[in-house]
Structure 1
Amino acid sequence: MKFRIGRILVGATALASAALAMTAGSASAAPSAAGWDHIFGPNTPGSSGVRVYVKEHGDIVKLCDTKKDGYSAELAVAEDGHAGDSYGMSVSTGAGTCKTHRASDGAKYDLDENNGVAFGFWAKGPQSSAFWENDH
């Protein structure tokens, strides 16, 4: 009987450890590179503390603060040739946190297909910029 209880305890401990590891992994707000069409920063010059993820299908834009430095991650989004169709995002809740907007959030977040989109992003340091063509 001792052998069975020992195996049960070892199995329960392994399951608890796996659950804890999965919980810790999913608590991180910063997404992995898989599944994103474009990723900008923090290696873009001047973009210290900011990473921007884009998924063209659904016009999903995710802004993440990547550095514990007391600065908010900021993003300005503008569609090429559409001065009124722009929006901004800010993440001020600390390193490892993100904010997301998608087309389903409203008209200003629904980026036109086959149109250029410009980003300006910054935290600590000068603004970085990126441009991409929203082709799907």
Structure 2
Amino acid sequence: MKFRIGRILVGATALASAALAMTAGSASAAGWDHIFGPNVEGSSGVRVYVQEHGDVVKLCDTKADGYSAQLEVYEDGYSNASYYMTVTTGAGTCKTHRASDGAKYNLDENNGVSFGFYGKGPESSANWENND
């Protein structure tokens, strides 16, 4: 009987560990205020993550297709880009900028922010009101 209880405890521990690992993965994606990615008509192989507090912008190349992930960040319209980002290191790699990296990365509060991002295919875009 002891042997059977031991197997049950080992199985329960493994199951709890797997559940914890799955929860941790979900929580990291949930930590972003905005996630923009490829849509059916837009650019593929690009994902953009944004945290408004601290103006953190993360650009990731998500597809091994020979194209770099590129991002243009605009404040209040599409007239002049505040800054550009490019990930050239291949699928599964990312590049991050935050307000603490310098003045051009510190996006104005209570102002519209727009992105143009692309990899393979046409440019996709997204925008939001930066309230943080």
Q: TM-score range by the shorter chain?
A: 0.7 to 0.9
Q: Deviations over 1:65-94 (max 9, x none)?
A: 000001000000010059556100000100
How far off is 1:42 after superposition?
2.2
TM-score using structure 1 length: 0.73
Q: What's the TM-score, normalizing by structure 2?
A: 0.75
Give, in whole Å, the separation in 2 of the partners of 1:32 and 1:45. Answer: 27
| Among candidates 69, 73, 87, match of residue 73 of structure 1 | 69
Q: How many residues align?
A: 108
Structure 1 runs, 4 residues or longer, greater than 3 Å off:
81-85
- RMSD, matched Cα: 2.2
- In 2, the alpha carbon distance for the partners of 1:60 and 1:131 equals 15
Give the counterpart letter for 1:132 in structure 2: W
Q: What per-residue deviation string (whole Å, max 9, x for no partner) do you get for residues 76-131 of structure 1?
A: 00100595561000001000000000000000000000000010000000000001
Structure 2 equivalent of residue 46 of structure 1: 42
- Residue 63 of structure 1 corresponds to 59
- Confirm whether residue 119 of structure 1 aligns to residue 120 of structure 2: no
Residues 85 and 94 of structure 1: CA distance in aligned 2, closer, same or farther (over 3 Å): closer
Which sections of structure 2, spanning at least 5 residues, go unmatched?
A: 1-16, 22-26
Q: Distance in 1 between matches of 2:59 and 2:116?
A: 11
Residues 1:110 and 1:36: Cα distance change in structure 2 (over 3 Å):
same
Contact 2:74 2:82 in 1 (8 A): yes
Shift of 1:45: 3.0
1:44–1:128 Cα contact (<8 Å) kept: no
